[in-house]
Structure 1
Amino acid sequence: MGQLLVRQFDDDLKRRLRERAAKHGVSMEQEARTILQASLLRDEGRGPGLGTQMANLFKDIPDNDEPLPTIPDSPARPASFDE
């Protein structure tokens, strides 16, 4: 296993890491490993964003680049749910 030495570690960050490690009942070193592992695994599982997924979903529809129809200048009115 490899080793990592982190220099110029902010004092407040070190304090917060120490408190978080104590809260979880582990060493600061173990807590740092856990944080790094969780962060890196989450990043690997991240796919394209929702906007990209939607664009890809509709990109092959013919005439997809046509402008949207205009809406007449009538005031909006609330929906009625009366039956």
Structure 2
Amino acid sequence: MAALSIRDLDDAVKEKLRLRAARNGRSMEAEIRPILTTAVTEDAPRTDLFSALTQRFAHLSGAELDLPARTTMPRATSLPQ
């Protein structure tokens, strides 16, 4: 396992880490380990399917359709009784 020293860490950041570690019942070192692991293992933020598809096919542009004007009024549905 490797060791790591962090110099010039802001005092406010260190205090927040200390408080967070205390809340979670861990040492500061144990608190920092999962933070660093998560930071370097996240490839890309996950998005929902619609957003992913929109981004993937955005370069194709949209389909512009000319909708014809309605010439008749919509009729009411008749449901069997």
Q: What TM-score do you get using the length of structure 2 for normalisation?
A: 0.58
CA distance in structure 1 between the aligned counterparts of 2:13 and 2:58, rounded to whole angstroms:
45
CA distance in structure 2 between the aligned counterparts of 1:48 and 1:34, rounded to whole angstroms:
19
CA distance in structure 2 between the aligned counterparts of 1:38 and 1:4, rounded to whole angstroms:
17
Partner of 1:78: none
Matched, 1:38 2:38: yes
Structure index of larger Rg: 2
Matched, 1:23 2:15: no
CA distance in structure 1 between the aligned counterparts of 2:46 and 2:57, rounded to whole angstroms:
12
The 1:28/1:55 distance shift into structure 2, 3 A limit, reads closer
Partner of 2:5: 5
Q: Percent identity?
A: 30
CA distance in structure 2 between the aligned counterparts of 1:18 and 1:57, rounded to whole angstroms:
46
Instruction: Give me the CA root mean square deviation.
Output: 3.1
Gaps of 5+ in 1: 71-83
Q: Which amino acid aligns with 1:11?
A: D
Gaps of 5+ in 2: 67-81
